Amino acid sequence: MEFSGKVALVTGAANGIGAGVARRLAAAGASVVVADVDDVRGEAVADEVGGVFAHCDVRDPRHSEAAVATAVERFGGLDIAVLNAGIATGFGLGDDFDVERYRTVMGINLDGVVYGVHAALPELRKRGGGHIVATASMAGLMAMPMDPLYGANKAAVVGLVRGLGPVAAADGVTVNAVCPSFADTSIITDIKSALESAGMPVMSVDDVVDAFVSVLRDGKPGECWFVQAGRPSAPFTFPNPPGPRTATGERVKLDHDPLITEEN
C-alpha cells in the first residue's frame, strides 16, 4: 500500500505509539489528523507532521464523528483510521475496584474503538474502501493476571475486529488489530524496570510502528497481528477454537450467517 496522497486519522496520536504512527504515515506522504485529549502535545505533533489537530475524547461518539469530519473538510476524505487511544487500568477487582475508573477505562479502550469504527466506516466506504487498524494488545490474546480489566477490554477489541473483518471487507474496508507486547511509552513508565528485571524486553515505539505499516500493507480482513521483541510481527492464528460443532462433535462449516434468512 502506498501512503502518499492518503488521508489518515490517528487517535491517541499526541504521544507514544499513536504519535509514532502519525509521524511515519506523514513521512510517507499521508495527510494526518492527530486526534487526542492532550491538546498541547497533539498540536505539536500535528504541526510537526504538517497535519491537523482535532481535540477528541474517544469516550464521546460525537468527538470521533467530528475528527472524521475534520479529515473530510481539511483533506477531502478518509482512507485510514488508526484507533489507538488507550490507557492502563491501574486497579483490579478487589478493594481497589472503582466503578467510575472502570467506566473510564472501558470508555477509552473499548467504546473509543467502537465509536471510531462507526464514525469512520461511512467515509471509508465513500472512497471505495480503506483501512481501520485498532490498537489492541498482547493482553487481548493471552491471559493478563496483572491487569484483568485491561485484558478484558483489549480482548473485546480483538473480538470486535475479528467479527467485523469479513463484514467490512464486503465494502472494501480492511479491519485489523495490532497487539503489541510492552513498548516504551508513558503507559508502562511505572512498571518498566520491573518488566526488564523480569526478563521481559520493552520494545521501541519504532518497532511497534513497523508492525502498523506491515498490517496496513499486508493485513487480511479481521487479522490481529502480535508484535513482540525478537520475532517478526504476524497474524495470530487463533489455533483450533472450539467453534460450532454437531451433536457428535464434527465441525459445522458456516458459509453464510445462519441468522440472516430470506424472511429477515
Ligand X SMILES: NC(=O)c1ccc[n+]([C@@H]2O[C@H](COP(=O)([O-])OP(=O)(O)OC[C@H]3O[C@@H](n4cnc5c(N)ncnc54)[C@H](O)[C@@H]3O)[C@@H](O)[C@H]2O)c1
The answer to whether 183 contacts ligand X (rule: CB under 6 A) is: yes
Sketch the per residue contact string, 188 through 227, with ligand X: x for CB under 6 A, - otherwise.
x---------------------------------------
Cβ contacts of 61-68, under 8 Å, gap ≥ 24: 61/115, 61/118, 61/119, 63/35, 63/115, 64/11, 64/112, 64/115, 64/116, 64/118, 64/119, 64/120, 65/119, 67/9, 67/11, 67/33, 67/35, 67/119, 68/9, 68/119, 68/120, 68/123
Q: Tell me the window of 72-80, 169-177, 180-188, 243-251 that interacts with ligand X (CB under 6 A).
A: 180-188
Residues in the chain: 264
Residue number with CB closer to ligand X (230 or 244) = 230
Q: Are 100 and 54 in contact (CB under 8 A)?
A: no
Active site residues: 150
Residue number with CB closer to ligand X (38 or 79) = 38
Residue number with CB closer to ligand X (41 or 125) = 41
Q: Tell me the window of 64-72, 160-168, 186-194, 251-259 that interacts with ligand X (CB under 6 A).
A: 186-194
Nearest approach, Cβ of residue 41 and ligand X (Å): 6
Sketch the per residue contact string, 126 through 145, with ligand X: x for CB under 6 A, - otherwise.
---------x-x--------
* Adjacency order of strands within the sheet including 173-180: 52-55, 31-36, 7-11, 80-83, 130-135, 173-180, 224-228, 231-235
Total H helices, total E strands in the chain: 8, 8
Residue number with CB closer to ligand X (36 or 79) = 36
Answer for which of 7, 10, 17, 119 binds ligand X (CB under 6 A) is: 17
The answer to whether 186 contacts ligand X (rule: CB under 6 A) is: yes
106 to each of 12, 199, 218, how far by Cα in Å? 15, 30, 29
Sketch the per residue contact string, 66 through 105, with ligand X: x for CB under 6 A, - otherwise.
------------------xxxx------------------
Residue with cell string 491537523? 52
Residue number with CB closer to ligand X (127 or 192) = 192
The DSSP element (H or E) to which 207 belongs, if any, is: helix 205-218
**In the complex, which residues of this chain contact ligand X (CB under 6 A)?**
11-12, 14-18, 36-38, 56-59, 84-87, 108, 135, 137, 180, 182-183, 185-188
